Structure 1
Amino acid sequence: MRVVAWSSFIAVIGLISSIVAVLVGSGLETTEVPVHWDALTHPNTDVIPISVGIILFSFCAHTILPGIEGNMSRPEFFPRMLNVTFTCATVVKVFFGVFCVLAFGRGVEQSVTDNIVNFPVVAILAHACVMINVFFSLPLVFLILGEHIDLFFMQRVDVRWLNPTRSCGAYRIWILASRGALLSLGIFLAVQVPHFAIIMGLVGSLTGSLLCFIFPCLFSLKLFWKEISWCGRFARILILIFGVVGGVIGIIYSAAECASVFSQ
């Protein structure tokens, strides 16, 4: 776990460095062109549902949160960690999005580093930092996914060889095969998807709405209906309706954009 912790720390450093590099590059680009204030005052409403889906997708960390809590040395700090993490992520994303829109206007690419054309050194540095973040983020994700896969198969096959406490060659082969298959699948999907932002918007409109709005409110109302005040019930019902309506609109717009792009 110490190796995973240090790997995650390096990934965070890479993420922060990439954000700083993009902000510096965007700031340098604004010296070449005027600030695009009109992009904020007159936004393109057709892409707002897709953008909301992308934002929701970026907040969907629910699948690995139980594993993170279970592997923490001090699980009692898990709620505080969530509050700090999501607050910082929200502030950074808002500032980052507004800054890049002011710098590049409606010409922002799916990968904002592609907009830094006049300063290639900064663009290369930003890409390198993104690669560091992605590479060193894999151990934590693979640890959680690997545990779920091992548990799934241990319930269906002979557990005498599929056991991490046994030092046997079969278990090592299983680790290499299962984790290698996960990595290969991820690389294959990344290569096959040419318009990543649109796909993120489509997936985020579905899974993001379910995980962030619909399921939490639905389960809360189902489990704690008698304990929740009428104000709490009303608020949860409003959030539930917002999640359903927003998810449906996002799916429709994202699917239409996907059909338009892939038909060209």
Structure 2
Amino acid sequence: MFIVTFPYAVLQGGYWALIAMVVVAYICCYTGKILVHCLYELDEHGRSVRVRNSYVGIAEHVWGKWLGGRLINCAQIIELLMTCILYLLLCGDLIKGSFPDSPIDLSSWIMISTVPLLACAFLQSLRRVSWLSFWCTVSHMLINAIIIIYCLTRVREWRWSDVQIKIDIWTFPISLGIVVFSYTSQIFLPTLEGNLVDKTQFSCMMHWTHLAAAVFKVVFSYMGFLTWGFATQEVITNNLPTQSFKIIVNLILVTKALFSYPLPYFAAAELVEISFFQGKPVTPFASCIDDSFMLKVWALALRLTLVLFTTAMAIVIPHFALLMGFIGSFTGTMLSFVWPCYFHLHIKWHSMTRLDIATDILIICLGLACGSIGLYYSGHALSRAYRGLPPDPFHI
């Protein structure tokens, strides 16, 4: 969904942002494979047996149930809720961009977008969520095709000289955070691999999906930026020329974003319930489900509060790309770079080659460095954005 902000990443990071899209794809493909490798152990006959079922299970094996489970669950919940917040913020940006002369401000559009999402509190079946996600994907592919075709019609006006080669330290970390956030899929991979009919094809699947994602993101981002140059906005559809064209595309994207919201929301709500609401003595609080397998009234109220919390956060932090970069620098680098490699070293050290060990250590160092730098500069840019200033303090 967040591909619409990638041309803005090129505005901030130039050619280095495009290189990052390829490099991060390769790293995330590698860390995804080693994370799944940590689910398995060799039995007494030398056969690979799946002894763990999730990212949390791996963390609990390495750090213990009290620390490992809580830490990974917390990071996953933050990642999922931040995704929900970004969907709401994207809805507000798109509607505001469609009706710039409307007296309704961004915060009000976000609140209006939240109204149909209150129904998400009643979701108890992943089947309904999955159908929404399927049609969202189909509609978004159509939107991407429309934007690419439009960019190709403007090829004679492309601004080749606008793509910078030098790195701007004040803006490149923001681009890197956006790129990392877009590839964060590690929390879903153990479940995905566990449901494959032929698990031997997992590595092949990882290679092709990450290759396809990297190629598409580079092409889409580069073409989008060449079309609008330094005028590229945080959400690329707001750059479309005619107001009627912009309104049609933006409203389709708003519908798609609203239908995309239930999946991360459902996953976050489920994680919260598993962590805190299974009943004593397993968890601190009583179960959310009654004897007839229906949500209790207070549990429904908690779910509604979760929706309203994401709305409040979207209103408080109304800067889509900067927030995306900040999140990617924190949860993205830890979930996708640092922790998979650390767990791999801890669990598989005895069977690893020196090259494998060096690779894992290099990715851990890279993740910590990029995450720390990205947090600082994205946080700095967010603070400047609140004051109506550009990310770069030396920008005139």
Q: Quick check: TM above 0.5? A: yes
TM range (shorter): 0.7 to 0.9
- 1:72-126 Cα distance to aligned partner (Å, 9 max, x none): 585949936555544333222111111111111122111111111x222332232
Query: SS in structure 1 opposite 2:244?
Result: helix
Instruction: Tell me whether 1:95 sits opposite 2:219 in the alignment.
Output: yes
Q: How does 1:144-159 map to 2 (within 5 A)?
A: 144-151=267-274, 152-154=276-278, 155-159=283-287
- Partner in structure 2 of residue 16 of structure 1: 141
Q: Deviation digits for residues 211-250 of structure 1, max 9, x if unmatched?
A: 1211111111111111110011111111111112222222
Aligned residue number for residue 259 of structure 2: 136
Aligned partner (choices 223, 240, 243) of residue 364 of structure 2: 240
Q: Residue 261 of structure 1 aligns with which residue?
A: 385
Q: Does 1:26 align with 2:151?
A: yes
4+ residue stretches of structure 1 with deviation over 6 A? Answer: none
Q: Give CA deviations for 1:34-76 in whole Å, capped at 9, x if unaligned.
A: 2110123546624221101011112223445556667x58594
For structure 1, the 5+ residue unaligned runs are none
Name the structure 2 match of 1:123: 246
Q: Is 1:59 the equivalent of 2:183?
A: yes
Of the structure 1 ranges 175-184 and 211-220, higher mean CA displacement relative to structure 2 is found in: 175-184
Matched, 1:226 2:226: no
Q: Structure 1 residues 255, 142: CA separation in 2 closer, same or farther (over 3 Å shift)?
A: closer
Aligned partners of 2:310 and 2:198: how far apart in 1?
A: 30
The alignment status of 1:167 with 2:295, answered yes or no, reads no
Q: CA deviation at 1:144?
A: 1.9
Asked if 2 retains the 8 angstrom alpha-carbon contact of 1:22 and 1:123, the reply is no
Distance in structure 1 (CA, Å) of the matches to 2:200 and 2:350:
29
| Alpha-carbon spacing, 1:2–1:64, altered in 2? closer, same or farther (3 Å) | same
Distance 1:90 1:9, change over 3 A: same
Q: Tell me if the contact between 2:187 and 2:335 (Cα under 8 Å) persists in the aligned partners.
A: no
Q: Partner residue of 2:44? A: none
Conserved? CA contact 1:53–1:205, under 8 Å:
yes
* Among candidates 226, 230, 255, match of residue 106 of structure 1: 230
Match of 2:127 in 1: 2
* Kept in 1: contact 2:289–2:296 (CA 8 A): no
Q: How many correspondences in the alignment?
A: 256
Letter in 1 for 2:133: S
Cα distance in 2 for partners of 1:73, 1:3 equals 21
CA 1:222–1:73: 2 relative to 1, 3 Å = closer
For structure 2, the residue ranges without an aligned partner over 5 or more in a row are 1-125, 389-396
Task: Give the TM-score normalised by the residue count of structure 2.
Answer: 0.58
| Residue identity opposite 1:133 in structure 2 | K
C-alpha RMSD over aligned residues: 2.8
Is the contact between residue 49 and residue 249 of structure 1 (CA under 8 Å) also seen in structure 2? yes
SS in 2 for 1:163: coil
- Structure 1 distance, partners of 2:177, 2:148, is 23
